[in-house]
Copies of this chain bind each other. A is one copy, B any other.
Amino acid sequence: MSSIATTPAPPYYAVIFTAIASKMQDGYLETVQQMHALAKDSPGFLGMESAGHVLEITVSYWKDEESILDWKKNAAHQVAQELGRKKWYEAYFVRVSKVERAYGLVTE
Protein backbone atom coordinates (compact mmCIF):
# COMPACT_ATOMS: atom_id res chain seq x y z
CA MET A 1 0.00 0.00 0.00
CA SER A 2 3.01 2.34 0.40
CA SER A 3 3.19 3.38 -3.21
CA ILE A 4 1.60 5.88 -5.54
CA ALA A 5 -1.49 4.45 -7.23
CA THR A 6 -1.33 3.99 -10.99
CA THR A 7 -4.51 5.52 -12.36
CA PRO A 8 -5.78 6.15 -15.90
CA ALA A 9 -6.14 9.58 -17.50
CA PRO A 10 -8.91 11.68 -15.89
CA PRO A 11 -11.81 11.83 -15.45
CA TYR A 12 -12.26 9.28 -12.66
CA TYR A 13 -13.31 9.50 -9.03
CA ALA A 14 -11.34 9.85 -5.79
CA VAL A 15 -12.85 9.02 -2.41
CA ILE A 16 -10.89 10.89 0.25
CA PHE A 17 -11.35 9.22 3.62
CA THR A 18 -9.84 10.97 6.65
CA ALA A 19 -10.13 9.61 10.18
CA ILE A 20 -8.87 10.19 13.70
CA ALA A 21 -8.18 6.81 15.30
CA SER A 22 -9.59 6.06 18.74
CA LYS A 23 -7.76 4.08 21.43
CA MET A 24 -9.76 0.91 20.75
CA GLN A 25 -7.95 -0.72 17.86
CA ASP A 26 -8.56 -4.47 18.34
CA GLY A 27 -9.43 -6.10 15.06
CA TYR A 28 -8.76 -2.87 13.18
CA LEU A 29 -5.67 -3.72 11.12
CA GLU A 30 -7.01 -7.12 10.08
CA THR A 31 -10.25 -5.53 8.90
CA VAL A 32 -8.42 -2.76 7.02
CA GLN A 33 -6.35 -5.36 5.16
CA GLN A 34 -9.44 -7.41 4.40
CA MET A 35 -11.27 -4.32 3.09
CA HIS A 36 -8.33 -3.29 0.90
CA ALA A 37 -8.26 -6.79 -0.62
CA LEU A 38 -12.03 -6.74 -1.16
CA ALA A 39 -12.01 -3.24 -2.68
CA LYS A 40 -9.40 -4.35 -5.21
CA ASP A 41 -11.82 -7.00 -6.46
CA SER A 42 -14.73 -4.57 -6.59
CA PRO A 43 -15.88 -3.42 -10.08
CA GLY A 44 -14.49 -0.04 -11.11
CA PHE A 45 -11.69 0.00 -8.52
CA LEU A 46 -8.63 1.80 -9.92
CA GLY A 47 -6.20 2.11 -7.02
CA MET A 48 -5.65 3.14 -3.42
CA GLU A 49 -3.20 5.13 -1.30
CA SER A 50 -3.09 5.05 2.48
CA ALA A 51 -0.90 6.84 5.02
CA GLY A 52 -0.86 8.00 8.58
CA HIS A 53 -1.17 6.79 12.12
CA VAL A 54 -3.35 8.91 14.39
CA LEU A 55 -4.64 10.94 11.46
CA GLU A 56 -5.27 8.38 8.76
CA ILE A 57 -5.80 9.40 5.14
CA THR A 58 -6.88 6.82 2.60
CA VAL A 59 -7.65 7.83 -0.95
CA SER A 60 -9.25 5.23 -3.21
CA TYR A 61 -9.77 5.75 -6.92
CA TRP A 62 -12.80 4.57 -8.86
CA LYS A 63 -14.05 4.50 -12.41
CA ASP A 64 -17.38 6.15 -11.62
CA GLU A 65 -19.94 6.97 -8.93
CA GLU A 66 -21.75 3.68 -9.47
CA SER A 67 -18.63 1.70 -8.51
CA ILE A 68 -18.30 3.76 -5.32
CA LEU A 69 -21.93 3.17 -4.33
CA ASP A 70 -21.62 -0.57 -5.06
CA TRP A 71 -18.54 -0.82 -2.85
CA LYS A 72 -20.26 1.15 -0.07
CA LYS A 73 -23.10 -1.41 -0.12
CA ASN A 74 -20.79 -4.48 0.00
CA ALA A 75 -21.92 -6.59 2.99
CA ALA A 76 -18.48 -7.08 4.60
CA HIS A 77 -17.71 -3.41 4.03
CA GLN A 78 -20.96 -2.41 5.76
CA VAL A 79 -19.92 -4.38 8.85
CA ALA A 80 -16.49 -2.67 8.77
CA GLN A 81 -18.11 0.77 8.39
CA GLU A 82 -20.27 0.10 11.44
CA LEU A 83 -17.25 -1.01 13.51
CA GLY A 84 -15.37 2.09 12.36
CA ARG A 85 -18.17 4.41 13.43
CA LYS A 86 -18.83 2.67 16.75
CA LYS A 87 -15.35 1.66 17.82
CA TRP A 88 -12.25 2.52 15.82
CA TYR A 89 -12.68 6.17 14.92
CA GLU A 90 -13.15 9.21 17.09
CA ALA A 91 -14.05 11.13 13.97
CA TYR A 92 -14.02 10.56 10.23
CA PHE A 93 -14.95 12.38 7.06
CA VAL A 94 -15.54 11.16 3.52
CA ARG A 95 -15.27 13.36 0.44
CA VAL A 96 -16.28 12.05 -2.96
CA SER A 97 -14.56 13.99 -5.71
CA LYS A 98 -14.10 13.86 -9.46
CA VAL A 99 -10.48 14.01 -10.62
CA GLU A 100 -10.32 16.50 -13.46
CA ARG A 101 -6.58 16.67 -14.11
CA ALA A 102 -3.46 14.94 -12.87
CA TYR A 103 0.29 15.18 -13.34
CA GLY A 104 3.48 14.15 -11.64
CA LEU A 105 6.84 12.47 -11.77
CA VAL A 106 6.53 8.73 -11.34
CA THR A 107 9.44 6.42 -12.05
CA GLU A 108 8.53 2.76 -12.43
Interface residues of A (CB under 8 A from B): 1-5, 7, 10, 13-14, 16, 18-20, 49-57, 59, 85, 89-107
A103–B15 Cα gap in the complex (Å)?
11
A101 contacts B96, CB within 8 Å? yes
Quote the shortest CB–CB distance from A35 to chain B (angstroms).
Answer: 17
Query: How many chain copies does the complex carry?
Result: 2
Whether B93 contacts A104 by the Cβ 8 Å rule is: yes
Query: Which of B19, B59, B96 makes the CB contact (< 8 A) with A16?
Result: B59
17 A-B interface contacts by CB (under 8 A):
A4-B93, A5-B18, A14-B14, A14-B16, A18-B59, A51-B57, A89-B105, A91-B104, A91-B106, A92-B105, A92-B106, A93-B105, A95-B99, A95-B101, A95-B102, A96-B101, A98-B100
Whether A94 and B99, one on each chain, are in contact in the complex, defined by CB atoms closer than 8 angstroms, is no
- In angstroms, Cα B13 to Cα A100, docked, is 10
**Which residues of B sit under 8 angstroms from A96, Cβ to Cβ?**
99-102
